Amino acid sequence: MIGRVINDRFRIVSVIARGGMGKVYRAEQAPLGRQIALKVLEATYEGDSDPEFHKRFFLEASTQSKLTHPNTVTIFDYGKTEDDVYFIAMELLEGRTLHRYLRDEAPLSASKATHIARQICRSLREAHSLGIIHRDLKPANVFLVQHGEQADFVKVLDFGLVKDLGDKGEDLTQTGLFMGSPKYMSPEQIRGDRVDGRADIYALGVLLYEMLTGRAPFERPNSVNILMAHVHEDVPPMATHHVEVHPALEGLVRRALAKAPGDRFSSMDEMLSALTNVASEQGLAVSRSGDLGISGEFAGGSGSTTLSRADLIVPSSDGGLDSLGGLTSSSDAQARRGSAKWVLLVALLLLSVLAVAFALVRSGRSGDEAPAPVVATPAAPTEPEHVDDVTPSSPGALTTEVTIVSEPPGAQVRIGDSEEVHTTPVSFTWTGDDARRGRSVTFRFQLEGYRDLNAVRTVVGREMHVSGRLQPIDSEQERARRPPTTSRSTSTSGSMEGSESSVGLMGYKLEPY
């Protein structure tokens, strides 16, 4: 395949990885010259044993291509060649999987584990709002990259794409039985019951458990024993793995790992809020300086303390904490003492200068000669003080990622006095004055056959999640009074309850070319 050009656009350069479904190649997209990852599926996956493969592949590839959250891998294109080679062109990632990270460095600190988990929550929150269930969340499908100055930026891969992984290891499954990986599968997946977004919550609970302890909750000699343990056995206390985890955080993980879906968090949004609450319950202070992204030394006292990103207390975009660690009390005190010394020295210096000036003026006025006239000259203009370094509230430095969803989806939303219409679900970014903290914003939801809904929200952080649950119009008279909407897009429901495991969106192209 090296050197082959797929569909006149993607020239294959080299092999990146091999898997049960086929191979992933580095390729160059023409005419853009963009480096991409090209997943090429083996031709055998369209075999007679799975006559629905063709339809399901395009349905699910089209569905995943609609995901736009920064923590989700971007799908650029997908299709089939004339000789029936299926391919997916996606964002090329440079980094390592969470699987490799855990193999090298587990167990992770609470701050690192929750930092990763919160990003996964945000990725899956968007997917669930579109009715997309991952179904195979595991460390190999979580990629960690360097994103600007931010380390360990999450990219979630493979949202429920077609899988036939054989029985080549503990993490593999067979087509026709179920989809998923035994170590991370929910009890309802294993039993073959209806699956909704809470199966992903269970899998994320397994990931958190493994990040915090270095071990999955159920590790057995073979896949069958692992599956039975998920269904019947209690989750072992984390202390059995000789690690210390705050009881509130362990309780959060245990709730995500509840056997019954109804006993888990009802949504990724609720789980994200719970991670925030756990940090607050531990009494951790929140820095007001935003995401500093600092790695350096604070000088103070007789020495210096080197701080990494994990040591800093960083406020999250939704008002919580991205870190469960903080400055030690000794280093914090040293920094304060060092700052106090400098302030005192500067103050004494200013007082000395003022005293000398005052003495000179007095002595000049005591002589026989009249004092020379004082000519007031304007000071040279100076640049205004740049306050972005000391407060994140200046409008030009702010951004807020806005996500709007509705139940049911397809509602038209107007924001404030703007006539611009958005159709749910939708995500976009505010900058400048739009992202000003404390600004009150009204979101007006409208959908044919449903009552109008106004939701007022206040901008408080780098993310805003607005959800509107619309009520159907009851009477014909009420419908007659209701002005018609201009247009409506159709998608699957974002509700966690009752979402089938095989989910798709209207408008996908069975034959994209």
Provide the annotated active-site residues: 136
Here the tokens at position 43 are 């031709």
Residues 6+ apart with CB under 8 A from 211: 98, 102, 106, 107, 108, 112, 113, 116, 117
- Report how far Cα 360 is from the mean position of its chain's Cα atoms: 64
Measure the CA–CA gap between 54 and 335, rounded to whole angstroms: 63
Residues 454, 466: contact at Cβ < 8 Å? no
* 3-state SS class at 134: coil
Q: Which phi and psi angles does 489 have, rounded to 5°?
A: -100, 155
The set of residues, in sequence order, having a beta carbon less than 8 Å from that of 366 and lying 6+ positions away, is none
Which DSSP helix (H) or strand (E) runs through 414?
Answer: strand 412-415
Q: Report how far apart, in Å, the C-alpha atoms of 437 and of each of 394, 402, 458 are.
A: 9, 13, 8
* In 66-149, beta strands by DSSP E: 75-80, 86-91, 95-97, 142-147
Tell which residue, 248, 323, 249, has the closest CA to residue 285.
Answer: 323
Q: For residue 51, say if its preceding peptide bond is cis, omega within 30 degrees of 0.
A: no
Question: Which tokens go with 317?
Answer: 């975009």
